[in-house]
Amino acid sequence: MALIEIKNLSKVYDNEGAKTEALRGVDLNIEKGEFVAVMGHSGSGKSTLLHIIGLLDNPTGGTYHFAGKNISTYNSEEIAKIRNQKMGFVFQSFNLLPHATVLENIKLPLMYSDIPELQWDKIATDAVSSVGLEHRLNHQAFQLSGGEKQRVAIARALVNNPEVIFADEPTGNLDSKSGQAIIEIIQKLNTEMGHTVVLITHETYTAEYAERVVRIHDGKIECDDKVKNRRTKGDCFVK
């Protein structure tokens, strides 16, 4: 049973009668423990796909099963609980509270969990250690570099020990050296910690860290292949 299973997924945006098809009949399975990179040009539908499988948006049509259960059968409170407890998010813009400390930012998801408050500091500190940022624990977010902010965002995504981590262009605001360090951390979350990872990217060098690449064009999947099995470099990469 796939962790994520979507069939004939569609998404249509209606802006005062002007309809835009962002996704058109997408079928995709992602197994537990996979590291999948979703590639595509701007406007291809890759971020829309992430928002739907990350329960941040609703599809217009099709079905979505997460861990074997149809998402359409859940109410909004149940959806929020799954998103908080089973999913972690890392975004290009970091989404940190600038005047909160690293520790405070990382603890935010725990406030909406069932984990006792007495355990929050220990969990958050362990998450900070996993991204090598212990020395910045009590610094405010605005005092950090871009690479450090993204490490905090990754640590925050880890505190509820999610089933899957969604990373949406996590290196997009970073220089190449910081970007490589971040994608290597994300890879370790998969290979060493066993988290399923779905990476949204337009960058070939980040996608090549994944086991599998899915390429989207005009709202449809046009290529889906294991990285190590691709016949020629670029088969599943945006050119």
Retrieve residue 143's tokens.
């005092």
Strand stretches in 143-232, DSSP E: 164-168, 196-201, 212-217, 220-226
**How far is residue 140 CA from its own chain's centroid?**
24
Q: Dig out the tokens for 15 from the structure.
A: 């802006």
The H or E element that residue 100 is part of is none
3-state SS, residue 214: strand
Query: Of 152, 146, 157, whose CA–CA distance to 193 is shortest?
Result: 157
Per-residue pLDDT of the chain (239 residues; tens, 9 = 90+): 799 999 999 999 988 778 889 999 999 999 999 999 999 988 899 999 999 999 999 999 999 999 999 999 999 999 999 999 999 999 988 899 999 999 999 999 998 888 899 999 999 999 999 898 899 999 999 999 999 999 999 999 999 999 999 999 999 888 888 899 999 999 999 999 899 999 999 888 889 899 999 999 999 999 998 876 544 445 676 44
Strand 164-168 relative to strand 196-201, pairing: parallel
CA dist., res. 5 & res. 58, Å (int): 15
Q: What does the pLDDT read at residue 185?
A: 93
Predicted confidence (pLDDT) per residue in 65-123, tens digit: 999 999 999 999 999 999 999 999 999 888 999 999 999 999 999 988 888 999 999 99
Q: Are 170 and 146 in contact, with CB atoms under 8 Å apart?
A: no
DSSP structure class, residue 61:
E
Alpha-carbon distance of 121 to 22, in angstroms, equals 41
